[in-house]
Structures are given as C-alpha cells and as structure tokens.
Amino acid sequence: MGFVEGLYHEVAQALRKLEEIPILESGVLPKIGVVELLKMALKNEMEASQLAALWMPSTPEIDIKLGLARQCGDEAKHYRLIEKRLIELGENLEGFSPLAMGYSPLYQWLVTLDNSIERVAAGPFAREAIAIKRNLQLIAVLEAMEDKESADLYRNQIQPDEDWHHNFGLTMLRKYATTVELQEKATLATMKTIELADELRTAAMAKSGACVIPGC
Ligand SMILES: [Fe+2]
Ligand SMILES: [Fe+2]
C-alpha cells in the first residue's frame, strides 16, 4: 500500500465512529431544526472559503494554488445556495453573520499551517473527507425530517464539489508528499484535523442537541 492509500485508510478508520447516528436508528427526529442545521453549515462554508483564500497566495505550487482558488469559489457558492434555502424556509438573514461568535478552534489552528503539504492534508484532504461523511448523514436526517429540497441541494449541488475538494487533496498528496519527512507532516496534519473536528462536533451536539452537523 502506498503512503496516500495508507493515509486514506487511516482516515476512513478514524471517521468510522461518525457512522453511528443514534437518531436514525431509534427513529426519533432531532431536537434541532433544519434552520439551525443550515445556519451551522453557513459558518463551515464561510470558514472553508476564507481558509482557501488565505492559503492561495502563500502556496507556491501552481496546481495547489489553483485548486485552492476553485475551492474558495465553491465554498462561497455553497454559502449562497444554503442562504437561499434558508430564505425559502422563511428565515430572515438580514444582519446575520456566521462569524458573530468568532472562528472555530479548527479554523484557528488551520490558519497557522504554512507548509503546502500540511495544508492540503489538513484542508482539502482531511477536512473535506469529514465534510463528505457529515453531509451524507445530514442528507439522511433532512430526508427523515421530510425536507426533500434541502436534501437535494446537498446531494446534487454541494456534495459533488466536496468530492472534488477531497480528491484534489488526495491527488496533491500523491504528487508532493514524496519524502518521509513530508509524509510525517501530512499524517500529523490529517490526524490533528480529525481530532479537532471531532471535538467541535461533540461540543456542537452537546450545545444544540443536534444529532448531525453539516460539513462544508
Ligand atoms: Fe468543501
Ligand atoms: Fe462546501
């Protein structure tokens, strides 16, 4: 098994615990509503877009730079799509800022990364792997809540981009993480991202009663 395949496998293992959604098994709908879930999503999309923008100018590899540029635009597009859905649901977003409560601990750590390999490992590769998994669960919950429009938005418009972001990270790791030292950096950055994302999930669930949280 090559380095990237090994790391991919490790991520899949680490994310396995996300598979347990007690709510769907027990048939009880979440305490939190669609509106709250989608507002949480806005914060994640904003942080993902801003992070890619922040990294782009200081990342020397042209293909990584351009991939980050695409991701920045995609996450901004997701923000607008989710915002539009919230308005359709009757939510007034005038004066709303997803950053009113500040940045997440994960974002605050991600911005400190200054090596391209660590960045693609933590951002596109790991954070997007988490996003894909969380969004799959979110789609299942949205369907259980009978909000087909929001589920379709995630399935048809958002998830294909998140898949692209993750595969971009994977391809860049395959291309650039070619030394033991870089591979170690990539592994540490990946695992730290999963750990911080998991802490956030636990905290968000405890605070809001959400059984799932959206990705980005
Ligand atoms: Fe994404
Ligand atoms: Fe996104």
Q: Return mean pLDDT, the chain.
A: 92
Query: What are the tens digits of pLDDT across the range 153-186?
Result: 999 999 999 999 999 999 999 999 999 999 999 9
CA of 122 to the centre of ligand 1 (A): 12
Query: Would 216 be classed as within a structural domain?
Result: no
Q: Could you say which ligand is closest to the alpha carbon of residue 214?
A: 2
The pTM is what?
0.92
Query: Would 215 be classed as within a structural domain?
Result: no
On whether the CB atoms of residues 21 and 137 are closer than 8 A, the answer is: yes
Query: Would 7 be classed as within a structural domain?
Result: no
Protein residues within 5 Å, CB atom, of ion ligand 2: 45, 75, 78, 216
Instruction: State the helix-helix crossing angle for 128-144 and 180-208, rounded to 10 degrees.
Output: 30
Query: What are the tens digits of pLDDT across the range 10-63?
Result: 999 988 876 665 555 555 556 678 999 999 999 999 999 999 999 999 999 999
Query: What are the tens digits of pLDDT across the range 181-211?
Result: 999 999 999 999 999 998 888 887 777 777 7
Domains in the chain, number: 1
Instruction: State the helix-helix crossing angle for 159-176 and 3-14, rounded to 10 degrees.
Output: 140
Query: Would 13 be classed as within a structural domain?
Result: no
CA of 53 to the centre of ligand 2 (A): 14
CA of 41 to the centre of ligand 2 (A): 8
Q: Could you say which ligand is closest to the alpha carbon of residue 45?
A: 2
CATH code of the domain containing 149:
1.20.1260.10
Domain that holds residue 73: 29-208
Query: Would 159 be classed as within a structural domain?
Result: yes
Query: Would 184 be classed as within a structural domain?
Result: yes
CA of 87 to the centre of ligand 2 (A): 18
